[in-house]
Amino acid sequence: MSPGKTMEPFWWSLFSAGGVVAAFLVPVHLFLHGLAVPLGWVSVSHARLLALVGQPLVKMYLFVLIALPLYHWAHRFRFILEDLGLHGLRMPLAVLCYGSAIVGTVATLWVLIRI
């Protein structure tokens, strides 16, 4: 078995893991931060939030929550574009999509470390 033959299993595994995280965690967070808080249904003090995001465990949670599903998006978006007819651009699309996810991962690390 030659592992270098194709990297597809690697990206697919990240896609899968990201999909699980997105399925379980994104709805409640989107509901909270996108609707419940802005609409005033619930309120959280800034002090509490700041204390939370300062904790190492919470930072790890946020890293997994934000960075992993980026690879889920990257893999799916790449195939959306291929399925819309851009099959010939396989390499550039892969670089664009996975590259964006990697940039996002670095940005997430940067934000979380600096808090």
Question: Which residue bears the tokens 């465990």?
Answer: 57
Q: Return the number of other C-beta atoms located less than 10 Å from residue 14's C-beta.
A: 20
- Is 99 within 8 Å of 78 (Cβ atoms)? no
**Structure tokens given for 89:** 């651009």
Report in angstroms how near the CB of residue 95 gets to another protein at its nearest.
15
Report in angstroms how near the CB of residue 30 gets to another protein at its nearest.
5
Report in angstroms how near the CB of residue 109 gets to another protein at its nearest.
10
> In the complex, which residues of this chain contact another protein (CB under 8 A)?
1-3, 5-6, 8-10, 12-13, 16, 19-20, 22-35, 37-39, 42, 44, 46-50, 52-53, 62, 65-66, 69-70, 72-73, 76-77, 79-80, 82-85, 87-88, 90, 104, 107-108, 111-112, 114-115
- Is 78 within 8 Å of 94 (Cβ atoms)? yes
Report in angstroms how near the CB of residue 56 gets to another protein at its nearest.
14
* CA–CA gap between residue 77 and residue 80 (Å, rounded): 5
